[in-house]
Chain A
Amino acid sequence: MIKPCPTEFKTRILEFMYHRFGIDTSFFDPYLFYLGPKGKVMIGPKAPLDLQHIDTASIHIALVQRTVKPSTNFIQSFGSKININRIPLSKEQTQSYCSGEDILLDKTHLKKSSDGFVALFYADIPLGCGLLRGSNLINQLPKAYRLPNLLL
């Protein structure tokens, strides 16, 4: 069951998306925000049914707990709107990321990004989310999405 997303949660997400990824808050204007279990926030359409009948909305954009964690699907769907904390990966790094491995980055990657959640790209195609800690990129790809033999 979902419920309308409390204003506090929505505000935290909008601020996160603006400060972390440079996405203007107006981008989210067409969507309604819903809250699922364990702080899972989704955007979706106006519900033609009472919300008590709805199991989930598409799409899950972030997990809001102590911090805001963007979802893989959010980055894959709206990555083109992300202006900052974008990290381009090489072919080999992309294959490592898709197989679920952490990646050690070199300095050129780190100039434009700060510690925290980052959006990962291959040839401008949004791949998903990583957690940057120094030069370590900690893989945030859910197990169900991992692909050990990515063809590139």
Chain B
Amino acid sequence: MNFLVPKEFLDKYLPIADQPDSFTSILTSPPQKSFRINPLKGVTDEVLTRLKKIGITCNSVPWYKHAFTHNVDNLSSSLDRFTGNIYIQELASMLPPLIAEQELQQAETVLDCCAAPGSKTTLIAALMNNKNSLIANDRSYIRIRGLKFNIDKSGVTNTLVTNFPLKTFPDTQFDLVMLDAPCSSDGTVRKNPNLFQSWTPKRCRSYASRQKQLILQAFDLLHEDGILIYSTCSFAPEENELVINKLLSERDAALLPISLSGFHFSPALTEWEGYRLNPEIAKCVRVWPQMNNTDGFFIAKVQK
């Protein structure tokens, strides 16, 4: 199956991947199907009992008590999906809010910069226990429809939706800003193998210039001591470590260590194509799909 993976893709990522052989083989295997129970609505034991009754076997994951993998294609037709008791979401996509759980519980104001379709927004609201204020922003008015649908369906009551490009976002400061940046998404190739057909190194670089602007704008929306979570579902250092390097060179920002009990993170790169990056960037994390059987991800936790 390796022939499906472009040579340029492997040339770029094999030298930096943890367990390169496993990386190559997992790229062409489908991802685990997963969901999380929405604690704003669903009671875990009751939901699991109902799902079992309709033949859905669920397995817990060690790093989040509400996240599960399952074995069916029709989970979206279940009563618990219909009522918003569960949210179908890829496991790695749950990580950016989870690594900031403690800060989210203390934050009075939170901004999710690129919120549509709302997977992370609804998890953020759940981690905030539906308290205080969460602004869910997206620049695309069309994508906001899906965002509103998911927020309403999840029983979220602490959220207001805005529709701004980040550069024109009203002058306000937040305790925590989440920037899950638009990216080449090559970390999701297991789910979308068609991405291999359109993948080019140039595509990653074109996203990088936008991400560098976005991260500066997002950082500027923080209160002093506020926390910025930057994430992408891309493997490309241009979209990840180099973006953080740009932030560190242009703003007085400090990186914080990241951990989540039961989940295996790999440290971010401190060198790319012969260019030495700020060594602090090792505090950021990479999620290689072969390490936890998820999509690929990159996460940075920054303090102003």
Least CB distance, B98 to chain A, in whole angstroms? 21
Q: In whole angstroms, what is the CA distance A58 to B156 when docked? A: 6
List, in ascending order, chain B residues with CB within 8 A of A46's CB: 133
B residues 161-213 in Cβ contact with A at 8 Å: 161-164, 170, 172, 174
Q: Is the CB of B109 within 8 A of A48?
A: yes
Q: Is the CB of A59 within 8 A of B160?
A: no
Choice from B83, B134, B149 contacting A144 with Cβ under 8 Å? B149
Q: How large is the interface on B (under 10, 10 to 19, 20 to 34, 35 or more residues)?
A: 20 to 34
Instruction: Map CB proximity to A onto B73-92 as digits: 1 under 8 Å, 0 otherwise.
Output: 01001110011100000000
Least CB distance, A57 to chain B, in whole angstroms? 5
Known contacts: A44-B160, A45-B157. The answer to whether A59 contacts B170 by CB under 8 A is no
Q: Is the CB of A126 within 8 A of B83?
A: yes
Name which residue of chain B comes closest to A50, CB basis.
Answer: B170
Q: Is the CB of B41 within 8 A of A49?
A: no
Q: Is the CB of B77 within 8 A of A56?
A: no
Q: In whole angstroms, what is the CA distance A133 to B139 when docked? A: 43
Q: Is the CB of B160 within 8 A of A98?
A: no
Q: Is the CB of A48 within 8 A of B157?
A: no
Instruction: Map CB proximity to A onto B118-158 as digits: 1 under 8 Å, 0 otherwise.
Output: 00000000000000111100000000100011011101111
Name which residue of chain B comes closest to A57, CB basis.
Answer: B160
Most chain B beta-carbon neighbours within 10 Å: one of A53, A55, A76: A55
B232 contacts the other chain (Cβ, under 8 Å)?
no
Most chain B beta-carbon neighbours within 10 Å: one of A47, A50, A58, A122: A58
Name which residue of chain A comes closest to B136, CB basis.
Answer: A58
Name which residue of chain B comes closest to A145, CB basis.
Answer: B82
Most chain B beta-carbon neighbours within 10 Å: one of A47, A71, A151: A151
**Which residues of A approach B to under 8 Å, CB–CB?**
31, 43-50, 53-60, 71, 73, 76-77, 94, 98, 122, 125-127, 144-145, 147, 149-152
A-B contact pairs, 25 of them (CB 8 A): A45-B157, A47-B133, A47-B160, A48-B172, A53-B170, A54-B160, A55-B162, A55-B163, A57-B160, A57-B161, A58-B156, A58-B157, A59-B152, A60-B152, A76-B84, A77-B41, A77-B155, A127-B82, A127-B83, A144-B149, A145-B82, A147-B77, A150-B79, A151-B74, A151-B77
List of 8 A-B pairs having minimum Cβ-Cβ separation, nearest first: A77-B155, A45-B133, A73-B152, A58-B159, A58-B151, A45-B158, A48-B109, A151-B54
**Which residues of B approach A to under 8 Å, CB–CB?**
40-41, 54, 74, 77-79, 82-84, 109, 132-135, 144, 148-149, 151-153, 155-164, 170, 172, 174
In the complex, besides A49-B160, A54-B162, A73-B152, 18 extra interface pairs with C-beta distance below 8 angstroms are A44-B160, A45-B132, A48-B133, A48-B135, A48-B172, A57-B160, A59-B152, A76-B83, A77-B40, A77-B157, A122-B79, A125-B79, A127-B83, A145-B82, A149-B77, A150-B79, A151-B54, A152-B54
